[in-house]
Amino acid sequence: MASQEDIVPNDTRYVPLTQQPYCCVPTCLQMVMLRCGIPLVPQELMAHHMQITVPKEKKELFWHIRSGTKRPKAGWGTQLNENATAEPMFAALNIPLAMSWHLIDTFASTNELLTYLACAEGAGKDIVICFQNGAMYGTEDDGGHVCLLDRVDMQKRTVRFVDPGHNKPKWQTASISKLYKAMKAHGPDNMGGCWEVKKKTGKKQAS
């Protein structure tokens, strides 16, 4: 009989969840909530408060969603940026989390990014990594995607992450060079880089 480590990574920090279309951001946040013991709320509800926009022809996949015919600059999905953060969503839905940005232009090299991610993992931090789909997966898709940092191997210079995509392996490993290039391809204007998520302390949730 196969052992657990033969089936899933035995050192993973997360229970993987699978996203609804265009909902990679709320799904990653749900995985953080699950790890932190915070009650989950629907992906669609979280996405609504993060200005999600989906193609009009995909509107039927949702209960009630914002749709359009013109693709946003960063791609379909949630529309977070430094002026439209996740904080209003956290407040509106009584989710005791906070998010801060460490965008790709703050890292001068792959070494700086690798060191930051290794330190974050070592400290038990939850890091959402944002990059361009095409640059990571070798496709022509220039839209953005987010995953969760799981583990860093400094010796091999690789990063393992949890991917919420419905058609992606849940645990994936990429070289730091590939991740850096994919973040650079998405760019800081589209929030390419690292999003640090923290659980707020000393604040009770409403019942």
List, as one string, the DSSP characters of 39-108.
PP--HHHHHHTTT-BEEGGGGGGSSS--EESSPPTT-SB---BTTB-SHHHHHHTT--EEEEEEEGGG--
- Per domain, the residue ranges of the chain are 18-199
- The predicted model gives 146-175 an average pLDDT of 97
Which has more confidence, 174 or 201? 174
CATH superfamily, region 18-199:
Phytochelatin synthase, N-terminal domain (3.90.70.30)
Which of 43-52, 68-77, 161-170 shows the lowest per-residue confidence on average (mean pLDDT)?
A: 68-77
If you average pLDDT over residues 46-57, what whole number do you get?
87
**Burial label, 131 (beta-carbon count in 10 A; 0-12, 13-18, 19+):** buried
Percent of the chain with pLDDT over 70: 94
Give the pLDDT score at 205. 47
- Which of the four pLDDT bands, split at 50, 70 and 90, describes residue 207? very low
144-156: burial string, b at 16+ Cβ within 10 Å, e else: bbbbbbbbbeeee
pTM of the complete model: 0.90
With a cut of 70, say whether residue 201 has pLDDT above it.
yes
pLDDT at 51 over 90: no
* pLDDT reported for residue 5: 65
